[in-house]
Amino acid sequence: MSLPVIAITNASTCLSDAQVEAVLPALQKQVSNEFLAYWELDCTLSFLPKEQPLTDGWWQISVVDNPDQAGALGYHELTSQGTPLGKIFARLDLDSGSSWTVTLSHELLEMLADPWINWCAFGSDNKIYALEVCDAVEADNLGYFIDGVLVSDFVTPAWFEPTCADRLDFKQHLSKELELARGGYISIFNVNDGWTQITAKGAGGPRIIPGSRRQRRKLIRPAWRDSLL
């Protein structure tokens, strides 16, 4: 089976096309080396200039400024081809002092692990967890550098349940299953409350940003809309 091709597009005003395109080789190395080794998932990344249409069958991650810009473009859950669509909000990251490359890496790895945002895992504690592979270790200071580009740490399948994997997360920040690093969070489902967020400190979690994966997980699938872009 051929690998999915993921187009990275830049609709932001805070980053140039050259800045976005320059990080793709490091992200490709992360996917095809470290992530593939633990999750047996891979892809081909391609930068797509604004004037070029999305090729049939390609997935897409769009770099935008913030949720307001995403709203102006239309809150969409699928590409114009009906394929998986991710968004990162670069202006929010820059304004808060966060790394947009970590966010892009985070979105990329989670798209590969759960492209339709509908997969779950029964944890070793018998709770139902969203199959999000970066949330538990999402803080920038837990990431690592590839060719000078800061990328996100990620958990391995052993974080959810016992496996033969040699670690719980790639950078080995975690010491037990289902542990959340400082700044980490995860979505848990129960029949009474639906999807809820927990953090390393307990209930709650970061604000759910419109257009994010966590916001889309709460939407019923028929409500997902194709992008016009």
Structure tokens at 93: 């990251």
Which residue pairs from 151-154 have beta carbons closer than 8 angstroms and sit at least 24 positions apart in sequence? Answer: 151/26, 151/27, 151/30, 151/101, 151/102, 151/105, 152/102, 152/103, 152/105, 152/106, 152/109, 154/34, 154/35, 154/38, 154/109
Cα(97)–Cα(228) distance, integer angstroms: 31
Could you give the CA distance from residue 70 to residue 92 in angstroms, rounded to a whole number?
12
pLDDT in tens, the chain (229 residues): 699 999 999 999 999 999 999 999 999 999 999 999 999 999 999 999 988 999 999 999 999 998 766 554 444 567 877 899 999 999 989 999 999 999 999 999 999 999 988 899 888 888 899 999 999 999 999 999 999 999 999 999 999 988 888 999 999 999 999 999 998 999 898 878 888 888 887 544 555 555 555 555 555 555 545 554 4
Residue 217 is predicted with a pLDDT of 53
pTM of the model: 0.86
| β-strand partners of 195 | 189
Contact by Cβ (8 Å): 177, 124: yes
Cβ atoms within 10 Å of 21's Cβ, excluding its own? 16
CA–chain centroid gap for 197, Å, is 16
